Amino acid sequence: MRFTYRSGQRPLDGYTIKRGVGRGGFGEVYFAVSDGGKEVALKFLRGHTEIELRGVASCLNLKHPNLVHVYDLKSDSLGETWLVMEYVLGESMAQVIERHPHGLPLNLTKEWFVNLSRAVGFLHDHGVVHRDLKPANIFVENGTLKVGDYGLCKALGSSQRQQTRAVGTVHYMAPEISTGNYSRAIDIYACGVILHEMLTGQLPFEGESDGEILMKHLTATPDLSRVPTAFRDVVAKALDKNPVRRFSSMAEFARAVEAATALSSPALPVPAVAPVPGGQPGVPTQSYHPSPPSVAPVVSPVPEALPNAIPVTVPAVASSRTTRRDRLVDWSGALLRAPLYTVLGIVPYAVVTSTVDVSRLGDLFLLSVALSWAIILGSAGTDTRTADSWERRFRLGGLGLLVGMLAFWLDGWHLPRLASPMAGAGQRYVFGLFQMDTETASAAWHYLLYFGGVLTAGRWWLMAVKDRKDRLGLFPLIAMGFWGGLLVFLWPWMAGSPVAGGIVPLVIAAFAVQLASPWIEPPPPLPRKLRWRA
């Protein structure tokens, strides 16, 4: 990595460069010493200077123990702009995470994240959004975490205007940045990505290109299976596509992280973090012992050395809703709404076919509702679009067999009786348990295999997931009709109406399931021209 200036040069009056530290999109950073002996970091601004200066101006007079201090802005003899900053003798969080590919210890994660929340919360309290939070911009010196790189900071006025250019680093960019909307919520989203990375050692979204990663932030649901169970709801809330549903502040975010840590490991000390190879300053060993769980809330003390830190009140026992409870509420609501939407689906059929037979429409309603419930229950445990699963197919197929038995009964057939040793000629046994005549048994098999086969054939759980593309799609209706028609063609029915008794309720059920199931509207599409800084 070649720098513009070498050790010993004095491009800025009063400072001698010792070595280059790093390069970024906005300039070069050097370790330097003032004529009075003070060690500082000098940032030589190159390109997009107006953006950097605007961001630095927002933070020039802000002082907080967890923020890298900005001392001054100066110009050299050539008119070039230099930023004089505090020099952090340590390493970045990115370097620490790189040495821990499976995630940092939980208590260390908690301690560092609380410090991060104090720094970001301090910026927010002073009307500033960082806009480029990432582990590479977070440094650790003697166990103290400091947030730096204010080049993209933006002051929030009373009227937050939209911007037409997206800025930041793609792996940490909130979905709303694509529309130019900047608020404190984008920093909360970035901190959610950082928390995921601290807990797992991995980013929630990866891709072969920046565009692919951006699209995943816009449309994909993060896989939280690697995140410790107690933290999954916390990370999911921070990474919600809708900024309104995220944490309202960094203080609230920190409280949730502390509560999750207390539930996961209530009395474990923070393991030592290995020093940087090659003699570089590392992260000293830290020990943190959270208070034992109790009914009363615990207020984390603010050390005397951190007078501006944000005190965090932490409930010792978390009382947030669990994922299972959320799913139960969603399924119950969908089951209750399905009959209402089934009626809406039957009305067009009755009008087109001029059907006025209430008994026939009633049977169609019962069968369609049963199919809707079978699909909703068979989709249980799936909240997002997932890969194909034979487990779900077999579950749907088994429920389809029950629906087939209902259809068999609704069409006027008698349900089978238990087998009797006195069975006469022409009687057949089903599974060795039920007794019926040959014609009835053949019809029963048609009903069972028809509805069981249709529900096994397709990935019908995709109609009930929250992150489906549309609230009501046309393709599932066509797919249901196709599979129903295909089975009728391959195995003609010997009795009953294959259209009214089979295909029509399938299509109505597909209509009702989509409208009855919860749906989260996807974020707005990516603008045609989107610029970012990686």
Which residues does the annotation mark as catalytic? 132
Residues 6+ apart with CB under 8 A from 9: 16, 17
Distance of alpha carbon 118 from alpha carbon 474, whole angstroms: 49
Distance of alpha carbon 237 from alpha carbon 235, whole angstroms: 5
Task: Determine how β-strand 15-24 pairs with β-strand 427-430.
Answer: unpaired
Sheet hosting strand 434-437, strand order edge to edge: 417-418, 434-437, 427-430
Distance of alpha carbon 41 from alpha carbon 489, whole angstroms: 77
DSSP string spanning 290-325? PPPP-SS-EEEPPPTT-TTPPPEEE-SS--PPPHHH
Q: What is the chain's alpha carbon radius of gyration, rounded to the nearest angstrom?
A: 31
Residues 6+ apart with CB under 8 A from 268: 105, 106, 107
Whether the CB-CB separation of 217 and 173 falls below 8 Å is answered with: yes
Distance of alpha carbon 62 from alpha carbon 27, whole angstroms: 22
Whether the CB-CB separation of 365 and 349 falls below 8 Å is answered with: no
Distance of alpha carbon 347 from alpha carbon 361, whole angstroms: 9
User: Which residue type sits at 367?
Assistant: L
Tell how far CA 163 is from the center of its chain: 25
DSSP string spanning 355-367? ---HHHHHHHHHH
Whether the CB-CB separation of 396 and 460 falls below 8 Å is answered with: yes
3-state secondary structure at position 141: strand
Q: Could you write out the three-class secondary structure of 251-262?
A: HHHHHHHHHHHH
Distance of alpha carbon 63 from alpha carbon 41, whole angstroms: 17
For residue 196, what are the CA distances in angstroms to 202, 229, 331, 356, 499? Answer: 7, 12, 28, 59, 51
User: Which residue type sits at 211?
Assistant: G
Task: Determine how β-strand 128-129 pairs with β-strand 154-155.
Answer: antiparallel
Distance of alpha carbon 103 from alpha carbon 463, whole angstroms: 35
